[in-house]
Structure 1
Amino acid sequence: MFCEGAVVMGSRHRVTTSEAVLMTNVGRRYYLHGQSKNEIADVLGISRFRVARLLERAREEGIVRIEVGLPGQQDAGLRLELEQRFGLGRVVVLDVPDEGGRDLLRRLGRAAVELLGEVATADDVIGLASARPLLGIREDVDAFPACTVVQLTGAVSRPDALDIIQSIRDVTKVGGGEAYVYYAPIVGAARADDLRRNPDVARAFAMVPRLTAAVLGVGAWAPGLSTVYDAVTDADRQQAAEVGVHAEIAGIYLDRDGVPMHPRIEQHTLAPSFDELTRIPTRVGIAFGSGKASATRAGIVGGLLNSLITHRSAAEELLALP
C-alpha cells in the first residue's frame, strides 16, 4: 500500500516543500502507477539514480509508507490455526462483525471470487455449487480468469430469484470463459438419474472429471442450516437423520466423521458423487453462521474439503470443537 505522509521537519536534512512535492510525484508514479525508474527519469528529466534516491528518502521521511497485511479485513491468526490444525491448503477468515444477513454473504462470496481469481488460469475448469454466498455476486465481480465454469449442483428455489446459473453467467461474462449451466432443482420429485439425461445437465456433468477447483456450500442437517434440509419433507428429514446424516455439503450427505451416508433422498439429489468431488484437486468449502462447526469439521476430516472460506465467529466455533 502506498500512503502519502506529511513533510517531516525533524530529520537530519530538512525537507523543503519542493523536495517533498518531487518525492510525492515520484512515489505516486512508482508505487501507484507502476512506472519504472527509467520511465520516471525520462518524464521528469532527472537521472535514474536520482529517482532511486528520491524513493529511498521518501520512505525515510515518511512521505511514502509501505504496509504489508492481509486484504479485506482477514484474521491471519485464525487462518493459521485452521491451516495447522486441519491441514488445509487455503484458508480465508474474514474478520467482520457476526451480523449475518446479506452483507456477510456478499463478503464471503467476494472472498470466493477473489480466491478463485488467485488460483485459476484460463486453462482451469471451476465448479460452483448452489451455495448462498455465491448467489447474486454480480456487483462484486470486478475481474475473473478466462476459465470454464461449471454448475455443480441443481439450483435452489429462492423468493429473491437469485440462483447459481446467473452467478456463473456473471463470472464468465467478466472473465470471458465458457459457462456450463442447466435448469434443474438440487432436490425434487424426479430421480437424479433421470435428470442427468437432460442434454444440458449431461453436458455439465461430463465436465466434472476435468474440474481443477470447486466451491461448495457447507450445511448442517438442521432447520435453516441446509437449503436441502429446508426443501425436503419432514419424513425425508427424519429418515436422513435416522441413517446418520449430520452434514450436507453440495448435495453430499455425511455423518459426524465425514463418512458418506446414503439416505433415500440421495436418489433425488442432483449433484456429483462423493468420489467425483474428492478427485478435484482444490475443494473450497464456504461455512457461515452459527451451528455449522461440526458439519464443517465433518467435511474436512472426511476429505471432502481441503480449503475453507469462513468468518471469525464461525472459525472460533470450529476451533473450539474437541
Structure 2
Amino acid sequence: MPSIVGLLEQDEVAARRRVTWCRCLGVRSVLSRRREQAHTPRLLVVLACVACAAFLAPAVETRPRTGVTASAPNLEAPATADDAGVRRLITCPQSPSPFLLRPRGSVSGCANIYAGLSGQAWECVRHGGSNGRRRQKRCPVAIVGEELRMMTHVARLYHLQGIRQPEIAARLDLSQAKVSRLLKKAQDRGIVRITVTPPSGTHPELEDGLQERYGLKLALVVDTAPDNERTMLGDLGAAAAYYLQTTLRSNDTVGISSWSASLLATVQAMQPVPGLKDVRIVQAVGGIGDPAAAGHASRMTGQLAQLVNGEAVYLQAPGVAGSAESAQALRADPFVSAALGELGDLDVALVGIGEITPSSTLVRSGNAFSDEERAELEKLGAVGDVCLRFYDTQGRPVESELDSRVVGITREQLAAARRKIGVAGGSRKHKAIRAAVAGGLVDVLVTDQETAAALMA
C-alpha cells in the first residue's frame, strides 16, 4: 500500500497529534500523541485505514475540499489507495486536518452530515487540539439525502400538481409549517426556480420603470400603433376596460370625464360585470353642449352604468359656461348641485388627459375654449388639462379666470379621489401626460409603448 503510506508520511506531523477511531469496524488504532510513541507499527495503521475505507466508500458521498460541489464515488470500481473513499479519511471540507466518517448517531455532537448513496447518513467528526486533548470543531451542516428527496417531492406536489399546502401536509403526515419550510428550502437550494416569461406585446420593464419614477400605483403599457390614432384609441380602451371591470367593487362611486375619445373607447370595449351592486357613475364635467355631439357624454355615462349594474348621475349643464356668472347660476341648480356634490367622494376618477389644443370631440361639443383663451393659458405655462383643469409642466395648477367658467369637478375633488385612472397616448400628448403623472393628477396610467418610452427618457 505505498500510496497510503505516502499519504500518512506527508501528514506524519499532524498524525502524531490526532486520534483516529474506526468504530464502524470495531478496530481502534491510536497514533501516538507524544514524540516517544511516534514509532507505532505502521502496518496496524495501514490495515485500519484500508478496512475503514473499504466499509465506508460505497456508502458515503464524496465532498471536495472546496465545499462547493460534490460527486459520488464510482461504486463499481474497486477501492484503491487513490480512491475518494481513502481521501475521505484524511481530508476535511473545512480544513486539511484528518477526520473520520462514521454512522450518524454513534456519537453526539456531529460536526458535519453526509448523505450516503445507500440512504444512510454519516457523521464527519474532526479532531484537533494540543497536548493530546481532543476537541470537536463545528462545520456547516449539509442537507441529508432524505431531506433533499422530501424537498423535491413536496415541491413537485405543490408547483407541478397544484396541490395546496394543507393537503400536502395531510398526505405526507407533516405539519403545514414543515411543508412551508421545505418549499422555501427547495427554492433556496435551486430545486425550484421561478421564472416569469412576459408574453409578446407586454412591457413589464417599462411599467415598472414608470411606477418607480412617477410614484404610480399602476402603469399599463399597451403595444399598439401610435401613428394610427383610431387603432391606438381602441387598444388603449380595451386595456383600460379590462382593468376597470376587474377592479370595480360594489358601492363604488365612479366619476367619468364627459368629453374624452379614449374614455368612449374604454366604455365601448367593456363587458358586463355581474355581481356588482349599488355602483354610481357620475359625470365629472357638464355633459350638455352642441346637440349634434351632446349624445356622446350622456350615452357614455349611461352605457357604463348599465354594464356595471349601476345608476347614472348626469351633470345637466355645459362643461364651459359663457361667463363666470352663468356658471355660478348653473351650480346653484339643485340637480347640478347634487351631482357636483357626489364628485367630492369618488372611489374612482376615470379621466382623459388633454393638451392645450382641444380634441375634435371637445370642439364638436362646444365646450372648448377659444383660440385666444388657449393662447392666454399657454402664456401662463399651461401644457395640458384633466377635466378642463389646466396645469403646467410640473403638474401644478394654472390659475386663470377661465376656471370660474368650468362646471365640473374641482381640483380638490379630483385630488381626493381614491384612485385616478388616466387613459391617454400619442406623441402629441407626451408633454401633457408627463406633467400629469409628475404632478400626481393620475395614479394609474394606461398609455402606449412609445409614450411610455418617452416618459422614461
TM-score, with normalisation over the residues of structure 1?
0.70
Letter in 2 for 1:180: V
Q: Deviations over 1:185-216 (max 9, x none)?
A: 32241433222223332221111122111111
> Per the alignment, in what secondary structure is the counterpart of residue 308 of structure 1?
strand
Give runs of ≥4 in structure 1 deviating > 4 Å.
68-73, 136-139, 156-162, 223-226
Corresponding residue number in structure 2 for 1:103: 231
The 3 A distance-change label for structure 1 pair 224 and 214 is closer
Give 1:125 deviation, angstroms: 0.8
What percent identity do the matched residue pairs reach? 26
Q: Does 1:78 align with 2:206?
A: yes
How far did 1:182 drift?
2.8
Change in CA separation of 1:168 and 1:197 when aligned onto 2, cut-off 3 Å: same
Mapped pair 1:312 → 2:449: yes
Is residue 2:282 matched to residue 1:150? yes
- How much does 1:104 deviate? 2.1
Amino acid in structure 2 at the alignment position of 1:151: Q
Name the counterpart of 1:268.
405
Larger RCO of the pair (alpha carbons < 8 Å, separation 6+): 1
Segments of structure 1 that go 5 or more residues without pairing to the other structure are 1-36, 38-67
In 2, Cα distance between the equivalents of 1:223 and 1:250? 12
Q: CA deviation at 1:159?
A: 5.8
2:296 equivalent to 1:163 = yes
What CA deviation, in whole Å up to 9, does each residue of 1:80-122 have, x standing for no partner? 1211111110111111122433332222223222222222211
| Contact 2:320–2:367 under 8 Å retained in 1 | no
Q: Residues 278-318 of structure 1: CA distance to partner in whole angstroms, max 9, x if unpaired?
A: 01111111121112222112212222111101111121222
* Matched position secondary structure for 2:390: strand
The structure-2 alpha-carbon separation of the partners of 1:234 and 1:90, relative to structure 1 and needing over 3 Å to count, comes to same
SS of residue in 2 equivalent to 1:215: strand
Change (3 A) 1:138 1:299: closer
Residue aligning to 1:8: none
Instruction: State the shift of 1:225 in Å.
Output: 8.9
Based on CA coordinates, which of the two structures has the bigger radius of gyration?
2
In structure 2, what residue type is equivalent to 1:187?
V
Name structure 2 gaps, 5 residues minimum: 1-162, 164-195
Aligned to 2:160: none
Aligned residues, how many? 256
Range that drifts further, 216-225 or 296-305? 216-225
Aligned to 2:352: 217
TM-score with structure 2 setting the length: 0.51
Q: Which amino acid is 1:317 matched to?
A: A
Counterpart of 1:243 (choices 380, 396, 413) is 380
Map of 2:435 onto structure 1: 298
Alignment partners' CA distance in 1, 2:396 and 2:264: 28
Shift of 1:218: 0.7
Q: Are the equivalent residues in 2 in contact too, given 1:136–1:166 (CA < 8 A)?
A: no
Distance 2:240 2:349 in 1: 10
